[in-house]
């Protein structure tokens, strides 16, 4: 539990990572954030600092954000060494200044991982997640060809578990939290979500093989079962999905190695 | 003057779409790959359209300003999606969904469009389930439903409080499959800054790469805009910070008509504003009104804590005023009722701009675990923002801008008055009239993308010669690029004193005060003085640090706010000329004695579609009459 500050107004010192571009060196720069309200969000505090910088003619701090309610997965700051900051089960944008005290020094950095190069200041490039999804994170279902939605009852427990995994917001905190920068939690959440549903069975083997193999080529590290990923996940997605995926992957590899050769197809008359 | 032919097919209402589908032109499979279609946006509408068109065989280029298509604002939709499945056996039907939507929109939408929407709603649920969208289910394994405002049946499908997220991830996975297969050329971090019109037809776009600053030209046989709503014109809204009007506004300036821009939806249940630094407002889903009861103290200035106010001193005003719909009265009605209560001095919380949404009865009836299962994530969001627990004391809520029913004018085929330019999702004006019912925006976005555009774009393309799209060296492309570069240079070299946010906040205040929940002639006229003055101030003193050749968020914001200022003016103009009240457009001069909207069907039973005439000139107001063939425009009654 984070201590709750109700004192207002109060001030903090920021040490923010500034980096002009992917190829330039970066460094921490100090800024004072004054007259803060505990009811401000962390990003609103950065807005205020940025407006002050702008008025002084300096370039504001670039940071990623959009929905500001913890669902789009855009925001991605490491605050005092923790991806998304001190709270549990929340994203950067859901961090409120009431979790900090007057006089605190706060370190703000981008998510660090080899597969997520810095674009500018606090913004990183997380395209690798899209690439993994494009390799197999889907169920093939052409519009217009679907059977009635209730034709296939799904036990509530399976649907709920699938939803637990499907909640992933694709922010990358799991990667940033992992000392090996592994993407296993992200990949296993998608593999788990689709693999738990009857609709997902036809492509189950292909999906896990394609997603894991793509992940491996993109510079993510391997999983050594430390589970920092689940602890940093704003949706608290369970690392059980990693174990589940490892089983799926093994089975799929086995089946792939021993699958019978295709009987040969005909083009039809 | 633009011609506004709605192209509504003839014949009985329930047969129009089926008949139209069999009559419109097709492109043969071998020719499809010769056509290139640009899709701007990958929210529910854009992602479903891009994926489906690529699956059909068209070459698709898709642009989004986000760093990934999965971040589109559709991701934030909470409550659910409507469909006339009648799985509850509670009397639902395509006709009833049609009728509820038309009535909910206060009889300002087209009958034929709304009927088609209700028809395809059932296919949407099938499609989403096939993709693996994990909708809520009952113990028997069948799909669960909940109720939303303006309906007396349970037809809303949901995935906890994250329905938009799950539907978008479904559409995103379909799009990703097509990107992986090489059928969609996806450009992220790419903002459309101009539409290119060649020989009167939409044939391309100008894009700025938000990371490198590079400006590029792209030509196509047709252009689809699915760029979302413009609620951020109010600065404070439930939209994501990046949501903007730029794509449709710049298309407007290239000749596409803007329809009913003043129709905005104010959602009754949002977390109240807490301070001047506030960047956005957070919605508390309408689904909460299934079990939460809205009330305010009966007496003015009652400062007691909610638990200390006895039943007799509470006014459950929605239940009192609208007994048959109660807490599930439509949004516009519920919002105005909250405003009235607060205007009377009965509002709660530090600002007096709030009412209670109380779950004590539901917790007593169902137990806390059941309430947690239904709404846990919403209660968590509420707690994060306010540091209060809604399990222990009622939520404080207040209306906030949430959705824009207005948008670019489109015909039945979702094509604007500029041939070749199609507009889908919240960016168009088509289906919700003057007020949208809950859980029907997701339905519309996916209907447009999965089930309507795949047919209608083919009808247009069949009339275009394969390979006839213009080269990007055509003078129209050059001119559009010069236009975009000019804007960037102006912002960067301005070196004024104020950040962009200063102007956005000012605009928001003007819009909320004069073009918000209640509008008057005098107020709108005042706004029409203030906004041009604000534009002059913006042009003279906005400060955009940095350069145009790198990632520059101030520059992105400057362009968007410049467009909002101009759109805001048009909204006020539209609200001023519409001398009636309907749905979300409430003119104080036109109300029934009980405070309900007083429509004027005789004079305003039409769509107003504004046409740009050039900088500094007054736009022309075109109209499309709404001919109701099958339904009677009547006074909405939710009592
Ligand atoms: C908090 C909230 C809750 C909601 N809950 C519900 C609900 O429960 N049920 C319901 O039916 N509706 C709900 N809605 C409404 C609904 O979510 C939206 O109307 C709908 O998702 C809009 O989808 P869209 O595809 O039209 O646009 P969006 O999802 O907004 O997507 C817009 C896309 O366009 C792109 N874009 C925009 N401009 C440009 C440009 N210039 N260049 C390039 N790309 C651009 C963006 O990158 C994005 O991909 C809710 C809305 C909000 C704000
Ligand atoms: S800004 Fe969307 S999750 Fe934080």
Compute mean pLDDT per 10 residues along chain B, 639 residues long, and list them.
94 98 96 98 98 98 98 95 97 97 97 98 98 97 92 94 96 98 98 98 98 98 98 97 98 98 96 90 91 96 95 96 92 92 94 95 96 88 92 96 98 98 98 96 98 98 96 98 97 96 98 96 98 98 96 98 98 98 96 91 98 97 96 87
A74 lines ligand 2 (CB under 6 A): yes
- What is the distance in angstroms between the Cα of B350 and the nearest Cα belonging to chain A? 13
- The pLDDT of residue A5 is 77
- What is the distance in angstroms between the Cα of A246 and the nearest Cα belonging to chain B? 21
Q: Measured between CB atoms, which of B67, B69, B211 is closest to A126?
A: B67
Cα–Cα distance measured from residue B46 to residue B64, given in angstroms and rounded to the nearest whole number: 9
ipTM value of the model? Answer: 0.96
Cα–Cα distance measured from residue B26 to residue B574, given in angstroms and rounded to the nearest whole number: 38
ω into A15 cis (within 30 of 0): no
- The CA A63 to ligand 1 mean position distance, Å, reads 22
Q: Which two tokens stand for residue B485?
A: 């570069």
On chain B, the residues whose CB falls within 8 A of the CB of A93 are none
Cβ of B241 within 8 Å of Cβ of A65? The answer is yes
Cα–Cα distance measured from residue B505 to residue B278, given in angstroms and rounded to the nearest whole number: 10
Q: How far is CA B591 from the centre of its chain?
A: 26
- The pLDDT of residue A121 is 98
Condensed to tens digits (0 to 9), the pLDDT of residues B286-300 reads 889 999 999 999 999
Cα–Cα distance measured from residue B45 to residue A235, given in angstroms and rounded to the nearest whole number: 26
Q: Which residue of A has its CA nearest to B74?
A: A72
Atom 12 (ligand 1) nearest CA: B441
Q: Which two tokens stand for residue A249?
A: 């992957």
Cα–Cα distance measured from residue A22 to residue B4, given in angstroms and rounded to the nearest whole number: 50
Cβ of A51 within 8 Å of Cβ of B502? The answer is yes
Cβ of B126 within 8 Å of Cβ of A51? The answer is no
| B427, B41 contact by CB (below 8 A) | yes
Helix ranges (H only) for B188-234 are none
Task: Kindly report the number of other CB atoms within 10 A of residue B213's CB atom.
Answer: 16
Q: Which residue of A has its CA nearest to B282?
A: A69
- Give CA angle at B105 (B628, B110), nearest 5°: 35
On chain B, the residues whose CB falls within 8 A of the CB of A146 are 123, 126-127, 129-130
Cα–Cα distance measured from residue A260 to residue B11, given in angstroms and rounded to the nearest whole number: 56
A91 lines ligand 2 (CB under 6 A): yes
Condensed to tens digits (0 to 9), the pLDDT of residues B344-394 reads 999 999 889 999 999 999 999 999 999 998 888 889 989 989 999 999 999
- The CA A71 to ligand 2 mean position distance, Å, reads 6
- The pLDDT of residue A267 is 54
Return the HEC string of B413-433: CCECCCCCEEECHHHECCCCC
Q: Which two tokens stand for residue A135?
A: 């390799």
Cβ of A96 within 8 Å of Cβ of B142? The answer is no
Cα→Cα distances B100→B6, B117, B151, B421, Å: 22, 12, 6, 30
Write down the pTM of the prediction: 0.97
Q: How far is CA B574 from the centre of its chain?
A: 18
- What is the distance in angstroms between the Cα of B398 and the nearest Cα belonging to chain A? 17
Cβ of B130 within 8 Å of Cβ of A199? The answer is yes
Cβ of B127 within 8 Å of Cβ of A146? The answer is yes
- The CA B279 to ligand 2 mean position distance, Å, reads 13
Cβ of A150 within 8 Å of Cβ of B87? The answer is yes
| B267, B400 contact by CB (below 8 A) | yes
Name residues whose C-beta falls within 8 Å of residue B378's C-beta, 6 or more positions apart in sequence.
B78, B161, B284, B285, B288
- Substitution site in A47, A63, A74 for ligand 2 pocket (most atoms within 8 Å of beta carbon): A74
Domain A127-140+151-257, what architecture? Orthogonal Bundle (1.10)
Provide Rg for chain A, Cα atoms: 22
Of A67, A186, A206, which to mutate for an interface test with B (greatest number of B Cβ within 10 Å)? Answer: A67
Q: Which residue of A has its CA nearest to B87?
A: A150
Cβ of B125 within 8 Å of Cβ of A51? The answer is no
Closest ligand 2 atom to residue A66 Cα is: 1
Cα–Cα distance measured from residue A15 to residue A29, given in angstroms and rounded to the nearest whole number: 5
Domain A10-120 has CATH 3.10.180.10: no
Segments of A105-152 assigned E as strands: 105-110, 118-120, 123-124
| B281, B271 contact by CB (below 8 A) | yes
Task: Kindly report the number of other CB atoms within 10 A of residue B95's CB atom.
Answer: 15
Domains of chain B (ranges, CATH numbers): 267-398 (3.90.700.10), 494-625 (1.20.58.100)
Taking chain A (269 residues) in consecutive chunks of 10 residues, what is each chunk's mean pLDDT? 72 98 97 95 98 96 97 98 97 96 97 97 98 98 95 96 98 98 98 98 98 97 95 98 98 91 59
- The CA A66 to ligand 2 mean position distance, Å, reads 6
| B268, B437 contact by CB (below 8 A) | no
- Substitution site in B40, B41, B146 for ligand 1 pocket (most atoms within 8 Å of beta carbon): B41
| B369, B327 contact by CB (below 8 A) | no
Q: Where are the domains of chain A?
A: 10-120, 127-140+151-257
Which ligand has the minimum distance to the alpha carbon of residue A42? 2
Q: How far is CA B95 from the centre of its chain?
A: 24
Task: Kindly report the number of other CB atoms within 10 A of residue B370's CB atom.
Answer: 13
Concatenating the DSSP letter of every residue in B574-590 gives HHHH--S-BTTB-BTTS
Say if A10-120 and A127-140+151-257 have the same CATH topology. Answer: no
Name residues whose C-beta falls within 8 Å of residue B273's C-beta, 6 or more positions apart in sequence.
B236, B281, B351, B353, B398
Q: Which two tokens stand for residue B252?
A: 């407007």
On chain B, the residues whose CB falls within 8 A of the CB of A143 are 48, 51-52, 55, 127, 174, 450-451, 454
Q: Which residue of A has its CA nearest to B284?
A: A69
- Substitution site in B267, B401, B441 for ligand 1 pocket (most atoms within 8 Å of beta carbon): B441
- Best CA proximity match to B636, nearest among B262, B290, B329: B329
Task: Name beta bridge partners: B404.
Answer: B264
Cα–Cα distance measured from residue B325 to residue B329, given in angstroms and rounded to the nearest whole number: 5
Task: Give the single-character DSSP code of A62.
Answer: P
Segments of A41-173 assigned E as strands: 77-79, 82-83, 105-110, 118-120, 123-124
Q: Which two tokens stand for residue B397?
A: 């809520």
């Amino acid at each position: 539990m984070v201590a709750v500050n109700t004192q207002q107004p109060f001030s903090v010192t920021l040490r923010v990572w500034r980096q002009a571009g992917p190829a330039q060196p970066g460094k921490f720069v100090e800024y004072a954030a004054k007259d803060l309200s505990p009811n401000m969000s962390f990003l609103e505090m950065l807005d205020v600092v940025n407006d002050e910088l702008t008025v002084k003619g300096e370039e504001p701090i670039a940071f990623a954000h959009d929905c500001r309610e913890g669902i789009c997965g855009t925001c991605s700051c490491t605050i005092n060494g923790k991806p998304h900051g001190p709270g549990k089960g929340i994203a950067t944008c859901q961090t409120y200044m009431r979790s900090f005290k007057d006089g605190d020094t706060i370190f703000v950095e981008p998510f660090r991982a080899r597969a997520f190069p810095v674009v500018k200041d606090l913004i990183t490039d997380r395209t690798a997640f899209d690439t993994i999804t494009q390799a197999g994170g889907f169920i093939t279902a052409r519009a217009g060809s679907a059977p009635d939605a209730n034709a296939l009852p799904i036990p509530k427990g399976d649907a709920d578990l699938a939803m637990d995994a499907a909640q992933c917001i694709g922010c990358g905190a799991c990667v940033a939290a992992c000392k090996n920068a592994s993407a296993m939690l992200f990949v296993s959440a998608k593999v788990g979500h689709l693999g738990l549903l009857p609709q997902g069975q036809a492509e189950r083997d292909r999906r896990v093989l394609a997603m894991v193999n793509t992940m491996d080529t993109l510079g993510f590290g391997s999983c050594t079962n430390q589970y920092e990923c689940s602890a940093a996940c704003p949706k608290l997605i369970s690392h059980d999905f990693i174990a589940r995926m490892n089983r799926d992957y093994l089975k799929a590899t086995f089946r792939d190695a021993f699958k019978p050769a295709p009987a040969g197809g005909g083009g039809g008359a | 003057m633009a011609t506004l032919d709605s192209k509504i097919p003839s014949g009985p209402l329930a047969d129009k779409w089926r008949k139209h589908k069999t009559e419109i032109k097709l492109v043969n499979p071998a020719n499809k790959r010769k056509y290139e279609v640009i899709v701007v946006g990958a929210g529910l509408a854009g992602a479903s359209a891009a994926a489906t068109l690529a699956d059909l065989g068209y070459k698709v280029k898709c642009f989004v300003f986000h760093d990934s298509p999965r971040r589109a604002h559709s991701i934030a939709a909470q409550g659910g999606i409507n469909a006339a499945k009648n799985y509850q056996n509670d009397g639902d039907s395509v006709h009833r969904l049609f009728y509820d939507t038309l009535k909910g929109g206060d009889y300002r939408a087209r009958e034929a469009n709304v009927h088609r929407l209700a028809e395809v709603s059932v296919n949407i649920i099938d499609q989403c389930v096939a993709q693996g969208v994990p909708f809520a289910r009952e113990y028997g394994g069948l799909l669960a439903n909940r109720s939303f405002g303006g309906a007396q049946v349970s037809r809303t499908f949901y995935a906890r409080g994250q329905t938009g997220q799950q539907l978008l991830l479904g559409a995103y996975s379909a799009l990703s499959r097509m990107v992986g297969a090489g059928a969609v050329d996806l450009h992220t971090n790419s903002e459309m800054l101009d539409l290119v019109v060649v020989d009167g037809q939409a044939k391309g776009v100008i894009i700025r790469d938000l990371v490198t600053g590079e400006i590029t030209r792209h030509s196509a046989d047709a252009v689809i805009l699915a760029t979302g709503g413009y609620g951020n014109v109010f600065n404070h809204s439930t939209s994501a910070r990046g949501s903007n009007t730029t794509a449709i506004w710049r298309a407007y300036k290239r000749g596409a008509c803007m329809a009913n821009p003043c129709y905005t939806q104010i959602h009754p249940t949002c977390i109240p504003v807490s301070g001047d630094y506030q960047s956005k407002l957070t919605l508390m889903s309408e689904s909460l009104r299934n079990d939460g009861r809205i009330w305010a103290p009966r007496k003015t200035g009652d400062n007691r804590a909610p638990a200390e106010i006895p039943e007799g001193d509470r006014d459950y005003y929605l239940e009192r005023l609208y007994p048959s719909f109660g807490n599930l009265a439509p949004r516009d009605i519920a919002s105005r009722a909250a405003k009235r209560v607060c205007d009377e001095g009965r509002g709660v919380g530090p600002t007096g701009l709030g009412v209670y949404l109380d779950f004590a009865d539901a917790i007593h009836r169902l137990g806390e675990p059941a309430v947690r299962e239904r709404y846990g994530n919403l209660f968590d969001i509420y707690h994060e923002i306010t540091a209060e627990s809604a399990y222990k004391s009622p939520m404080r809520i207040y209306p906030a801008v949430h959705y824009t029913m207005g948008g670019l004018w489109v015909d039945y085929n979702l094509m604007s008055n500029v041939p070749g330019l199609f507009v889908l999702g919240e960016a168009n004006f088509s289906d919700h009239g003057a007020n949208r019912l809950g859980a029907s925006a997701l339905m519309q976005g996916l209907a447009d993308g999965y089930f309507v555009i795949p047919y209608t774009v083919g009808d247009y393309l069949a009339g275009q010669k394969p390979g006839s799209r213009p080269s990007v060296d055509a003078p129209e492309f050059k001119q559009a690029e010069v236009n975009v570069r000019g804007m960037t240079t102006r912002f960067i070299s301005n070196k004024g004193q104020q950040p962009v946010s200063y102007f956005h906040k000012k605009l928001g205040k003007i819009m909320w005060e004069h073009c918000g929940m209640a509008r008057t002639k005098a107020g709108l006229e005042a706004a029409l003085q203030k906004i041009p003055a604000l534009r002059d101030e913006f042009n003279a003193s906005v400060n955009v640090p940095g350069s145009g050749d790198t990632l520059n968020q101030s520059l992105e914001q400057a362009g968007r706010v410049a467009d909002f200022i101009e759109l805001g003016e048009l909204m006020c103009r539209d609200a001023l000329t519409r001398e009636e009240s309907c749905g979300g457009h409430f003119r104080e001069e036109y109300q029934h004695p009980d405070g309900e909207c007083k429509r004027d069907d005789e004079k305003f039973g039409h769509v107003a579609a504004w046409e740009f005439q050039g900088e500094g000139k007054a736009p022309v107001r075109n109209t499309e009459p709404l001919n109701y063939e099958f339904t009677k425009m009547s006074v909405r009654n939710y009592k």
